[in-house]
A and B are shown apart, each in its own frame.
Chain A
Amino acid sequence: MAAPAIRVGRPVEARASRGLWSDAFRRLLRNRPALVGVLFIALFVVTALIAPLIAPYAPLAGTLADRLQPPNTAHLMGTDLQGRDELSRVMYGARVSLVAGVASVVMGVFIGGLIGALAGGLGGKVDSVLMRVVDVMLAIPGILLAIGIVAWLDRGLPQIMFAVAMVNVPIFARILRGSLLSLRESDYVIASRSLGASGFRVLVRHMLPNSLTPLIVAATLALATAIIDVAGLGFLGLGPPDPRTPEWGTMLTDSTKFLRQAPWLIIFPGLAIVVSAVGFNLLGDGLRESLDPRLKQ
C-alpha cells in the first residue's frame, strides 16, 4: 500500500508572490460580486461605444403621432413625450454618462492627487494651508458645490465634468495625503532619505507608487457617484445646454409630469443609472477586498 502523500501547505502558498497588483487581480477574478460588477460596467461601456450601431432609431428623431407609447415590439422601452424611441435615447445616454463620469473622476484624481501629494509629501505649512482649503470644500455638501459651480460657469458638459470633479477633489486629496503620511516614517522611506535622495525623489519614486492603492479604489467607487451626480445635475435642469440631448437625468426631469401616464419613462433611464452605479460599486468593493484581503470577513 502506497504511503499517503504528505501535503505541505497549499500549492498557492508555495508559489512566490507576483507583486501586489497581479495577486490582487487573481483575487479579483475569484470575487463573484466584482465579476458581476465588471459585467454591468461592460454592458454600460459597450452600449455607450456602439450606440449608433445598435440603437434602433436616431435619439432625436420622433413624431408627435408616436408620443407616449408604452413598451411594444416596435419600441421596446416605449416612446417619450416627443415620440422619440426611449431605448435609443437610453443607449445614447450611456455616452454622456460614460464620458462625463470618467472625465470628472480623472480630473478629480489629478487635481485631488496633486493637492494630496503636495500636502502629504511636503508637510508643514503647505500641508496646513492645503488641508484648510480641503476642509472648506468639504464643508459644502457635494451636490450643492456642483450646483454652485455650474451656476457660476454656466451650463455645458465640460462645466458639469469640472463641477462633479470638484466634489471629489477634497476626498481624493485627503485619501492620498493620509496614505502618504502613513508612509513617511516607514523604513524604506527613511532609508532612501538617509542615502541622500531628494525630497522630490523620495516622494515620486518611493512614496507615491506605494500610496496609490486607496486612491484607485476610491476613484472606482467615485465613478458610481459621479454618474449619479451628473444625472442629478441633469435632473435639476443643469444638464447639457441642449435640452434634447439624451442624458439620463434630463430624460427623467421631462417625465416627472407623466408619472401616471408613462411610468416607463422613469423606469428605464432610472434602471440604466442604477445598473451602471451598481457595477462600479461592486467593482470598487471587490478591488478594495482584493488589494487588502484582510478586509474580507
Chain B
Amino acid sequence: MGKYIVRRLLGAIPVLIGLSIILFAFVHLLPGDPATAILGQHATPERVAAMRAYLGLDLPLWQQYLGYVGGLLRGDFGSSVINNQPLLRELLTRFPATLELTVAAMIYAVGVGIPLGRFASRHAQGWSDGAVTVVSLLGISIPVFVLGLTLQYIFAVELGVLPAGGRIDPRANLHIQSNFVLIDSLLMGRPDLFIDGIRHLILPAIALGSIPLAIITRITRASVLDVSNEDHVRTARAKGLKEKRVNSRHIMRNAWLPVVTVIGIQVGGLLGGAVITETVFAWNGVGRFVVEAINNRDYLVVQNTILIFALVFLAVNLIVDILYAFINPRIRYA
C-alpha cells in the first residue's frame, strides 16, 4: 500500500509541472505587453515598470518561469491589481466559504444520490425507477444558475422561508476565526447563528449538488444492478442469507467501487460549479472572487484561483485513488 501511495504521489509531479507551465503562460504570455494588460491602459509608467520588474519580463522566458515557480514555493502569489493586497491572504480568507459550500453540496449529493440509486435499482423497470431516471435526467440538464435562480424565486421570494443569498444574516455579529461560518458560530457558542448558517447553505448546496446528485444516482443504480446479477449474489441468496446481509455484505461492498470513483471526479465539477453558484447566491468565496477579477481584468487572481482549484482537485483525486486501492486490492497490484 505504501508503495502504491508513493507511486501515485510521484505521478502527480508531471501534472503539477504542466499546470505551472500553463498558468505561467496565462500571465507571462498575455497578448501584447503583459504588464500593461494586467494593469490596464491607464496605469502610470511607474506602475507598469514595477509590474514588469515583478514579473521579470526583461529576463529570458525560462528565468521568468523559474521566478514564478520560486515565488509559488515561497508562498508569494503576487498582489491584487485592484487593492494591492497580497493574494495568498485574500484567497485563504475566502477559500473556507467555497469549501463549506462544496462540502455541503457533496453531502447532499452523496446523502441523497446513493439511497436514491439503491431505491431505483430495487424497483428496476418499475414506475418509481422511471421517476428516479427522469429526476436524474433533469439534474444533469438544468444548469446550476437556472436551478439556483428558480430555487431563489420559489423559496426566498415567493415562500420567504429561506434566505436568497449570503452566508449569514448581515446583522449577525459573527466573530471571524476560521472563516467557516458553521465552525465560527459553534466556537462562539451561538447555536442560533449555526442554524442561520445552515439556512443560508441549503439553497446554494442544492443548486450546486444537483448535477453530482444525478450522476451519483445513475451510477449507484447501474452498479447495484450490475452486481445484483452476479453469481456470488445468487449464491448468497441460495444459501439462505437474510436480504439485509446480502445487500450490505455482498452487493454494496462491490457496488461501492464505481461510485467512489465518480464521487472523486465530481469534485472537479463542484469546484467549477461553485464559481457560478457563488455568483447567483452572493456567496463570498473564491469563485465569486474570480468572476469579479475577470471583470476587473485582474489576471493574477484568475491565475491563482485556477491553481488553487486544480491543487484541491488533484489532492481529492489522490485521496480517492488511495481509498479506492484500499477497498479494491486488485488496483494496488495493477
Q: Which of A131-157 contact B (CB under 8 A)?
A: 132-133, 135-136, 138-145, 147-148, 150-154
Task: Report if B241 contacts A (CB, 8 A).
Answer: no
Interface residues of B in 136-164 (CB under 8 A from A): 137-138, 140-146, 149-150, 152-153, 157, 164
Partner of B306, one of A140, A150, A228: A140
A/B pair count, beta carbons within 8 Å: 133
A224 CB contact (under 8 Å) in B140, B150, B279, B297: B140
Please tell me which stretch of A45-53, A57-65, A185-193, A235-243 contacts chain B, meaning at least 4 of its Cβ atoms lie within 8 angstroms of it: A235-243
Residue A273 contacts which of B146, B271, B272, B313 (CB distance < 8 angstroms)? B146
Are the CB atoms of A141 and B225 closer together than 8 Å?
A: no
Q: Is A260 an interface residue (CB 8 A)?
A: yes
| Chain A residues touching B, majority SS | helix
CB distance from B281 to the nearest CB of A (A): 11
Given A148-B306, A231-B143, A259-B157, are A142 and B272 also a contact pair (CB < 8 Å)? yes
Please classify the interface of chain B as helix (H, G, I), strand (E, B), loop, or mixed, using the class held by over half of its residues.
Answer: helix
- Whether A277 contacts B141 by the Cβ 8 Å rule is yes
Cβ 8 A contact of B137, one of A141, A238, A266, A281: A281
CB distance from B272 to the nearest CB of A (A): 3
Give complex CA distance A235, B144 in Å. 11
Would you call A252 an interface residue if the criterion is a C-beta within 8 Å of the partner chain's C-beta atoms?
A: yes
Can you give 29 contacting A-B residue pairs, CB < 8 Å?
A132-B14, A139-B19, A139-B268, A139-B314, A140-B310, A140-B313, A141-B268, A141-B313, A145-B306, A147-B291, A150-B294, A151-B302, A224-B141, A231-B143, A232-B144, A232-B145, A236-B275, A238-B294, A252-B145, A255-B149, A256-B280, A259-B157, A259-B164, A263-B153, A273-B143, A274-B146, A278-B137, A281-B140, A281-B141
Q: In the complex, are the beta carbons of A141 and B272 less than 8 A apart?
A: yes
Chain B residues with CB under 8 Å of A232's CB are 143-145, 276
A: which residues have CB within 8 A of B?
132-133, 135-136, 138-145, 147-148, 150-154, 224, 228, 231-232, 235-238, 249, 252, 255-256, 259-260, 263, 266-267, 270, 273-274, 277-278, 281-282, 297
Is A278 touching B141 in the complex (CB atoms < 8 A)?
yes
A148 contact set on B, CB distance < 8 A: 26, 302, 306
Is B15 touching A237 in the complex (CB atoms < 8 A)? no
- Chain B 299-319, CB-CB to A under 8 Å as 1, else 0, gives 100100110011001100000
Q: Is the CB of B309 within 8 A of A144?
A: yes
Say which residue of B137, B269, B280, B290 sits within 8 Å of A142 (CB atoms): B269
